[in-house]
Every structure is written in structure tokens, then in C-alpha cells.
Structure 1
Amino acid sequence: MRKPTHDPSRRSALKGLLVSGAALALARWPLPALAADDAPILRAIPSTGVRIPIVGLGTNAYGVATAEERAPLREVIARLAQVQGSVIDTAPGYRNSEEVLGELIAELGVRDRLFLATKVTAPGDDLAEALRQLENSFRLLKTDRIDLMQVHNLNGAEAVLPTLAQWKRDGRFGHIGITTSSNDQHARTAELIRQHALDFVQVNYSLGNRAAEETVLPAALERGTAVLLNIPLGGRRGSLFGKVKDVPLPAWAADFDAHSWGQLFLKYSLSHPAVTAVIPGTTKVANLEDNLGAGRGRLPDAATRKRIEELWDSLG
């Protein structure tokens, strides 16, 4: 077993190793099969039984312009694709990220290795605008089937969900759902989960923001709706890492195979019984590698979750 990493920063020796060696290898596809100890934990989507790795990727920062900016993103996608079936989540609202991802995935030839998710809105319940977005997403992502189509931040959900359901029946979507990243939308999100046959809900939840436990997560459990977690590390709204900047990783984190603060944070969220997968965003292979580590080994049990919460709350 690896020794716990007590450096709370993600810029560790691991990063140096990856950048100097493994990242160069990732730029050349195909890649070797995963080692046995790299096998991820898989969870089933309740509505279909499709099994996905519990750590995927959010791409809010993938709307870039230059070849130099795209190069590290290509490495991240190549590494993620080694973990067969990993969720990669995007949206038309993330600038040109759909276009960037479509091109990089096509270059790498890894479309069949990814669980591709994107989003749609119907501003003012404008179904025509939603239909335009949907067709554009297929074009930009260079695919004829999207594994998960979600209504972004509930925008026009009632107007567009019947169309998403029909397109799912037609085979254009594998799954449909809704998303929110705002606590203010949690009550409405829970209502929609109970009112519609949704395969997925995506919600903001982390050790630093547990509000979804009161509304969204219970509704998802009740209805058998898969749960994706966005901003599980806090993101630009308040990174969890700032609070532990000078705090050593507790030795007992090794009891559930967490070897960095990032892995502790993600494993905590993944141990909630409603959660299917997390989709932390990153543009760096080193950070992705650390995130993927949270999807292997043991997860905290109920008593350990409580211990983690008490530690976090004690930090003020």
C-alpha cells in the first residue's frame, strides 16, 4: 500500500512524474491496458443498469482557442479514456468546449470509450431554440448518439423534457436528466425528480456544501435516479483546498485508501449512498490522476463520514 501523501497541495512529486514521463506517453494513442491496481470502482445507473466509473471529468474550462491550449486537454482526455466508460461532461454554455472536445475525441479515436454527456436549455420555454442547440451538440461533438442529455440549470425543463424523452426512445440519447449548481434550485430540482422519469440528476455537493443532502439526494434515492456531482472540490466558488492548506492529511485517511486531500474530499462525496459519480474539472493530467485515485480502493463508511465531517467543521 502506498504511504499517505501529507502535502495538502496537489502539486506534488506525482505531478512531476506525470509531466515528465507519463504525460508524454499519453499523447500517443493507443495506450496500454490498465494495470490491475488501476481498475476503477463501477456503479450501475439504476434506470438502465449501465455501469460507469465513479470518477469522471467536468469540462467547464475546455473552451480554448489555440493549439497550445488544447495540447494538455488532449492528454487529459487520452488518460481518462483509458478508464473505459468514464463520464465526460460538457455544455454549450462552456464557450466552445463542445467543439474542442469533439475534435480531440475524434483525433484520439476514443468516442466508444467515453460516456459523453452534455446539456441543453430552453430560454423562455423556447423549444425551437432547444432543438437548435441539440442538433448543434451532435454536430460539434461529432457523434450520432449522446449518452446523457441534461437540461442545464433547469432552464426550460418542463418545455424540453418531453422532447428529450422522445429522442431517448428514438435512440439518439442513452439517458436524460437535469442539472443544477445552485442551492437555491435544490427544492425545484427535487420536485422535477419526483415528477419526471429522469435517468440522472447533476447537483452541486461536496464536503464544504452538503445542502443537497436535505432535498436532492433523498429524492434521487427515492426515485432511483443516478446522481452526478459537479464542483465536488469547490471550484471557483471556494476551493476546498484553501481550508486545508497548512493541515496535514490525517493518517487514518489511509484506512479508506485516500492518499491526498483531493482523494479524501472525493471519496467522502462518493460514499454517500445516493451518489453515482463525481465529475471534478481539471485541465492537467496530474490532477486527473489524483482524482482517479479516489475511484479506486475503499470508501468511507458511515462512521468515517461522520469523522471527516467533524474534522472539516473543526477547521472553522
Structure 2
Amino acid sequence: MPSDRRRFLCRSMLLAAGLASPVATLAALPSLAPLRRALPGGRETLPVIGMGTADTFNVGTEPGERAPLAEVMALLLQTPGPVIDTAPSYGSAEAVTGDLLLDANARARVFLATKISASAANAPAQWAQSLRDLRIENVDLLQVHNLIDWRDNLRFIRQLKERGKTRYTGITHYREDAHEALAQIVRSERVDFVQLNYSVAERNAERALLPLCQERGVAVLVNRPFQDGRLFRAVKDRPLPPWAGEIDCDSWGQLFLKFIVSHPAVTAAIPATSKPRNMRDNLGAGLGRMPDARQRERIAALLA
């Protein structure tokens, strides 16, 4: 069977059944296996679609609040080793993440990232509380949140790495005006990850920061892939362009995410959601054909 025809039939099967149940069949469908990217050193890969927890996981303990998040988590866990990114400054998100991972017996099945978002003097106490909230003894990635006291906090994170409390170090920010500061750190320091904002409508990272990370072998996580919903508002009531099918996109969200993860410097995007149907849609962006340079510009032109 021609590859395009096979891809079409397999994709139709997934869409008909919903992404939740067919994911287990992906091993038998190589053409639909989620795209993965190598981490520094090439010993490990991550799926290009992970999950953030800002706002969405800041909930209480009522079953009605937790149930949709448990379903979101279950969908994410159907792909081996996805990134879950959280932070102590996200309200109850660390504690909720920890509870859901414990309930699913899934700590070993995710790439867990959190942050130091306190002053250097308060960083040890904050880290200890993160461990309690997440119900863990170590994380995969520990990041300096929004460059807060970054020199001292990066030094503290490196000490934790030496003690086996984290496997990777990182720095983060969510605004374009911080990109030059992030780039300066990448040039002068050794970090394993940079987390930054990047989307079809916020492309400043393409100028210098993404190429620099690629040159230095630094992994990249992308936050705010939908600009906190602004991208969806910009295309409200607009039909998906017919050519979106050329890159196996069934929604605007998938088109926006594929624009991001098709950049060769990007390791994973981490969209946040509390809705299972949105999680299914996000995961679909890691499947099928990815846009080439011409198609990426075609996507960008839709928001120009």
C-alpha cells in the first residue's frame, strides 16, 4: 500500500476512535509514531509534545476539580517519557502534579521538570517544599525560573545535580525581551536546557537564541505556544486552510504546534490544558508529517 494511502487510513482510524485508545497501537504504526528529539549527548529522546501546568493545575482537592486533570495526565502518559513542566510559583500545581503521578504510579514514566523561583537565600527551602509537594526525591530537570537570582540559583542547581537530585540544569523566561539575556547565559555558561516563549506570532527566538542553542547542544522547551489563547482568538471563525492536510493537521492548535516543533532547535513544546479533548488535539501535533521551511512560512502568513 502506498505510504500516503497507509498514513491516511491509519490517521482516519485514530480520528474515528479518538486519540486515547489507539495510541497503544502506535508501535505497530511506525508512520504515526510520535516525533521525538534527542537531548544533549544523544542518550535520550523526548516526545515533541509535552505539557505545562501553569494555571491549569492550580486547583483544589475536590474530585470534580481533579478528574479532568487525571484524564489529561492519562492521555499524556500514553506516549513514553513526556515532559511535564511545573513550578512552585504555579499555586497548587506541583502538589496536584505529584498527587496525580502517584495515583497513576507514573513518576518513572515522565520527564519531570520544575523550577527554582525564589531568591537565592530562600532557594533551599523552596526546593525542599517542591520535593514534598511533588512526592519525589529528585527531578529530571531543575530550572532557574525567569532568571531570578540566576547566578546563585544556577550554582545551587549545579550542586543539586552533583548530588543526583536533578539530571539536567536549565534557565527559563516567558518574554521576548529576555531572549538576549538568555543568549548571553548560553554563551557564557554551561546549561542543558533553555525554556523560552516561541510561537507563530512571536518569532524573535529564531533570530539568535534558537540557532545558538542548536550550535551549543542545548535542549529547548517552548512555553506559551498559543500566546495564552491569543492565537485562537486571531483565527476565530476562520476555517482551517485546506492545505493543512498536507502536514496532517486537523485543527488550528495542531497547525500552531507543528510550526513550533518543526524547528530543528526545538526539543519539545509544553502547552498547558485542563481539558482532555485539548490534550488529545495537542498530542496529534506530534504525529504525521511536519512542515518544511516553505510550509512554515505559509503558516506564519496566516497570522501576518
TM-aligned CA deviation for residue 49 of structure 1: 2.8
Letter in 1 for 2:203: R
Whole-Å separation in 2 of the counterparts to 1:201 and 1:230: 11
Instruction: Give the equivalent residue in structure 1 for 2:300.
Output: 309
For the Cα contact (< 8 Å) 1:4–1:253, is it kept in 2?
no
Question: CA 1:152 to 1:136, structure 2 compared with 1: closer, same or farther past 3 Å?
Answer: same
Partners in 2 of 1:3 and 1:260 — Cα distance? 18
Give the counterpart of 1:102 among 98, 120, 124. 98
- Tell me: higher relative CO, structure 1 or 2? Use CA pairs within 8 A at least 6 residues apart: 1
Q: Distance in 2 between matches of 1:159 and 1:260?
A: 43
TM-score (norm 2): 0.89
Report the equivalent of 1:288.
279
- Matched to 1:82, the amino acid is Q
Q: What SS is found at the alignment partner of 1:150?
A: strand
Q: Is residue 24 of structure 2 the alignment partner of residue 33 of structure 1? A: yes
Distance in 2 between residues matched to 1:241 and 1:47, nearest whole Å: 36
Q: Give the distance between the partners of 2:234 and 2:258, measured in 1 at CA.
A: 17
Query: 2:245 aligned with 1:254, yes or no?
Result: yes
Which residue does the alignment assign to 2:83? 87
**Aligned CA distance change for structure 1 residues 122 and 158 (closer, same or farther; 3 Å):** farther
Deviations 1:183-214 (A, max 9, x none): 12111111111111111000000001111122
Q: Deviations over 1:76-135 (max 9, x none)?
A: 111111111000110001001111111111011111111101111242xxx331111112
> Residue 217 of structure 1 corresponds to which residue in structure 2?
210
* Count of matched residue pairs: 290
**What amino acid is the match of 1:158?**
R
Q: Is the aligned partner of 1:63 residue 2:58?
A: yes
Distance 1:2 1:120, change over 3 A: farther
Question: Does the 8 Å CA contact 2:198/2:223 hold for their aligned counterparts?
Answer: yes
Deviation, structure 1 residue 219: 2.1
Question: 1:171: Cα distance to partner?
Answer: 1.5
**Structure 1: runs of 5+ lacking an equivalent:** 6-13, 26-30
The structural deviation recorded for 1:32 is 8.3
Which residue of 2 is the match for residue 10 of structure 1?
Answer: none
Determine if contact 1:122/1:157 at 8 Å carries over to the other structure. no
Structure 1-normalised TM-score? 0.86
2:192 alignment partner in structure 1: 199
Counterpart position of 2:3: none
Q: Calculate percent identity across the aligned residue pairs.
A: 47
| Structure 2 residues not aligned, in runs of 5+ | 1-7
Q: Does 1:137 align with 2:130?
A: yes
Cα deviation 1:136-160 (Å, max 9, x = unaligned) = 1111111112011011111111111
